[in-house]
Amino acid sequence: MLSACGRVDYTTWKCQDVDGQKLSMIIKQAQMILPNTTYIHCGALGEVTYFDNQCPALTQDAQVRFIPSEGKLNIADKAYQCTAL
């Protein structure tokens, strides 16, 4: 019998806001995992990916906006600059 394990891809990010507050984040499958919260993927419009605890009717109304190519993360009204590890 031949069996294989499924591979789960994830990316770890280190983020920092303008005041120097640091935040670590993992993007794993359809989740954004932060130290105290896990958000679910709500969709993407252009290069912006949206996450929230519960996806709103309009994707762009999600609490979390992330642009992976630029490392820009916005959670509610707080902005972070992130770097993939």
CA 62 to chain centre: 12
Predicted confidence at residue 4, as pLDDT, reads: 53
Mean pLDDT (10-residue bins), the chain, 85 residues: 63 96 95 96 96 96 97 96 96
How many structural domains are present in the chain? Answer: 1
CA 23 to chain centre: 12
Q: Domain residues for 48?
A: 10-84
Does residue 1 fall inside a structural domain?
A: no
- Please give the model's pTM, rounded to 2 decimal places: 0.86
Largest Cα separation within the chain, whole Å, is 56
Does residue 67 fall inside a structural domain?
A: yes
